[in-house]
Amino acid sequence: MRPEILFPLFAPSTALKGVGPKVAPLVERAAGPLVRDVLFLAPQSLIERRLAKVEEAREGEVQIFAVTIDAHLPPGRSSHPYRIRAADETGFIFLSWFKGYGPHLLRQHPVGSQRAISGKVELFNIERQIAHADYILPIEQIAEIPPIEPVYPTTAGLPPRSLSKLVLEALAKAPDLPEWQDPAWLAKQQWPSWREAMAQLHAPQSLYDLAPLSPARRRLAYDELLAHQLAMAQRKAVNRSEAAPVIPPSALAAQLEGKLPFSLTGAQIRSLGELRADLGSGQRMSRIVQGDVGSGKTVVAMLAMADVAALGRQSALMAPTEILARQHFETIADNLESIGVSTILLTGRDKGAARSAKLAAIASGEARVVVGTHALFQDEVRFDALSLAIIDEQHRFGVSERRRLQGKGEAVHMLALSATPIPRTLELTVFGDLDVSRLDEKPPGRKPVITNAAPTTRLDQAVERLRAAVAGGAQAFWICPLVAESDLLDVTAAEVRAAALTDALGDAVGLIHGKLAPAEKDRVMAAFAEGRIGVLVATTVVEVGVNVPRASIMVIEHAERFGLAQLHQLRGRVGRGSAQSACLLLYDPPLSQTAQARMEILRETEDGFLIAEKDLELRGGGDLMGLKQSGFPAYRFADPAAHRDLLMAAADDARLILARDPALASLRGKAVQVLQHLFDWRAAEGWAAAG
Ligand code: ADP
Ligand code: MG
């Protein structure tokens, strides 16, 4: 139950003066539905106002002038602005308004009255003007014009000044809250109290106060991270407390391992060991295995499924797309069948009698391993004894979907696979409620992918080289990026490129994109996989997981539009076979510094974990690149790059608090509960709910 002290903050924004049913939706868009959300809206910049003489008026600056109203100049035509001429001893300045302000302005600011005015100065030739002045006050009130004013990210229809007022009102409603932070830590950091930090947030004195490193911002970021870490730690404890079947390492899995044409890498052995320790613990597993594409995650998962099958129990492996599900199936089915583990594929395309037969095999337990897509969530899919659910690219699934799969058995062990490596410093944030295994070692014998960048002006040369390579039997991906936000435009761009390449290279060119019918996609993928297509033009549908070992060339058009993590993922499609592979990053010059840095990093390394760290370092303000995509929570105050140090501290703190006082019953525990309610991170969200 929400503590009473927070009630004023959890009132709807209509509790603020000036917010009625009309304005509330605007406030919701800018901040959120609650008074708390308005309070939490951090200023993104500030206006500094300086008192000046009119002759010192500077284009684009916000200044304050002490003037006398000199004349009212009503517009000759309705499309023209209403203007007031004002002056000080150094010159004239015009105040202007569009639309019907006349009589009212004349009454309020008669000729001869002295006014303090402020607003952004515009210069037209020699004429100085302020359109829609922020302030026009009687001269005695000049001190009421704030010399520094925070600017909030607002939304159309809600003037910035109205929003500022609402924020101040929300601040006035903010109570003093009991201190939840450890007093010694607070003193060491020299942070203000929560209430004081909120006040400072909304009263920046300089740009420094807006920076993530200012004490108020750090305090608030820490509060937020602590609330989140507490929720994660609680969730993890709940997960752990659930009894689950003990699944020991099996002879069957050993047999399967013996049949593999390679031996496991050190990282695979370690990860499999971690997995097996969970499976054998009698408690429910919640683990994620992170590793680059090709690092051997599927193989590890397959061995765990063999352990489960050895007990007569079932596993489900779920992939976000049809193509991926099919590929997983192809990778593991023969292997598992070879040791007598019946494996089936269930996708949305299974219909009629074939589907019924598969459902029956799942329900009877005859199918020990089921690979599939979202189709696995459907109510008709019933398992006999589901004990292990494996989710590939878990961030592509919603919490409720994961829960539904888990609900298809009792105390189902959960394993996630992710090809989007998260830097270690962020693991706690993204996967705080999971145990993490890292496949940070590639299977031996892979040749590095030669990576180069070139401007699009050299596209013709690139096509020439491609022609030669394809003539020599090579196969290539050609990736066309997201154009704007529209799938349709993407498709058009890909179609245009495919046509141009067909002109240049003949009919060895194929095209695949998100709008193709599933069967058509399969047909094209199969043709490419079998070598009947030389160049596969694709939108980013090939991004995750697609395995065509024969393909050795990756061309990425408009590489500057992709984030580092995404480029890395795309490049990971090649370099999987024995041939030397190459990746060409075509970019539209000029490159931004960040884009240039991204390409340099890609040329230097293929280590996904290292690339993820660099990605984090390069991240500019607000640019989340791969992070959001990988389930990074939407923090209000915390910045994953700038507050990295606080992340670790908050995680430790959360653990300590819960170890000492699991029920949060002590005085500090009660304060901590207030914190949790304040931020609303719900402990009950369940498995890996960070996304
Ligand atoms: P991921 O799922 O991480 O992309 P996979 O498990 O699909 O990786 O493995 C990628 C490819 O590497 C597969 O063809 C697999 O057979 C092969 N592979 C996996 N582990 C090893 C290993 N230890 N040594 C050699 N090849 C391996
Ligand atoms: Mg894989």
Question: Residue 264: CB within 6 Å of ligand 1?
Answer: yes
pLDDT above 60 (res 626): no
- Choice among 142-146, 310-314, 571-575, 652-656 with the minimum mean pLDDT: 571-575
SS (H, E, C) 235-276: HHHHHHHCECCCCCCCHHHHHHHHHCCCCCCHHHHHHHHHHH
pLDDT for the residue 620: 47
14 band by pLDDT with thresholds 50, 70 and 90: very high
Average pLDDT, the chain: 88
**Entry pTM:** 0.74
pLDDT for the residue 526: 84
Ligand in nearest proximity to the CA of 260: 1
Average pLDDT over residues 554-578: 86
Question: Residue 262: CB within 6 Å of ligand 1?
Answer: yes
Average pLDDT over residues 615-629: 56
What values do phi and psi take at 439, rounded to 5? -95, 90
| Domain-wise residue ranges, the chain | 50-145, 251-439, 450-605
Strand partners, 314: 386
397 band by pLDDT with thresholds 50, 70 and 90: confident
Q: Are 70 and 86 in contact (CB under 8 A)?
A: yes
pLDDT for the residue 166: 95
pLDDT for the residue 421: 83
Average pLDDT over residues 532-559: 82
DSSP 422-475: --HHHHHHHSTTSEEEEE-SPPTTPPPPEEEEEEGGGHHHHHHHHHHHHHTT-E
Question: Residue 331: CB within 6 Å of ligand 1?
Answer: yes
Superfamily in which the 251-439 domain is placed by CATH: P-loop containing nucleotide triphosphate hydrolases (3.40.50.300)
| CATH number for the domain formed by residue range(s) 450-605 | 3.40.50.300
Question: Residue 42: CB within 6 Å of ligand 1?
Answer: no
Average pLDDT over residues 81-105: 89
Ligand in nearest proximity to the CA of 295: 1
Q: Which residues surround ligand 2, an ion (CB under 5 A)?
A: 298, 545
Average pLDDT over residues 377-406: 85
pLDDT in tens, 677-687: 999 875 544 33
Distance of CA 143 from the midpoint of ligand 1 (Å): 70
pLDDT for the residue 684: 47
Distance of CA 388 from the midpoint of ligand 1 (Å): 21
> For residues 675 and 567, which has the higher predicted lDDT (pLDDT)?
675
Nearest alpha carbon to residue 541 among 527, 524, 553: 524
pLDDT for the residue 49: 92
pLDDT above 60 (res 630): no
- At residue 675, the 3 state secondary structure works out as helix
pLDDT for the residue 573: 86
**Separation between Cα atoms, residue 42 and residue 277, nearest integer Å:** 45
pLDDT for the residue 628: 53
Question: Residue 442: CB within 6 Å of ligand 1?
Answer: no
pLDDT above 60 (res 625): no
Q: What is the DSSP letter of 47?
A: E
What is the residue whose two structure tokens read 């596969």?
536
pLDDT for the residue 546: 65
Distance of CA 442 from the midpoint of ligand 1 (Å): 8
pLDDT for the residue 621: 37
pLDDT in tens, 355-367: 999 999 999 999 9
623 band by pLDDT with thresholds 50, 70 and 90: very low
Q: How far is CA 25 from CA 30, 155, 172, 431, 454, in A?
A: 9, 10, 22, 33, 47
Strand partners, 583: 451, 554
What is the residue whose two structure tokens read 């052995």?
269
Q: Which residues contact 281 (CB under 8 A, 6 or more apart)?
A: 246
- Choice among 62-76, 224-238, 593-607, 626-640 with the minimum mean pLDDT: 626-640
What is the residue whose two structure tokens read 């599900």?
325
Structure tokens at 253: 């899995």
Distance of CA 297 from the midpoint of ligand 2 (Å): 6
The residue to mutate among 293, 295, 297, 299, having the most atoms of ligand 1 within 8 angstroms of its beta carbon, is 299
pLDDT for the residue 487: 58
**Separation between Cα atoms, residue 26 and residue 157, nearest integer Å:** 7
pLDDT for the residue 619: 67
> For residues 282 and 482, which has the higher predicted lDDT (pLDDT)?
282
pLDDT for the residue 615: 82
Ligand in nearest proximity to the CA of 272: 1
Q: How many residues are there in the chain?
A: 691
pLDDT above 90 (res 89): yes
114 band by pLDDT with thresholds 50, 70 and 90: very high
Q: Which residues contact 220 (CB under 8 A, 6 or more apart)?
A: 194, 197, 198, 201, 637
Question: Residue 291: CB within 6 Å of ligand 1?
Answer: yes
Question: Residue 418: CB within 6 Å of ligand 1?
Answer: no
Would strands 114-124 and 127-131 be described as parallel, antiparallel, or unpaired?
antiparallel
Question: Residue 299: CB within 6 Å of ligand 1?
Answer: yes
pLDDT in tens, 576-595: 777 899 999 999 888 888 88
Superfamily in which the 50-145 domain is placed by CATH: Nucleic acid-binding proteins (2.40.50.140)
- 450-605 matches 251-439 in CATH topology: yes
pLDDT > 70: what percent of the chain? 94
342 band by pLDDT with thresholds 50, 70 and 90: very high
pLDDT above 70 (res 116): yes
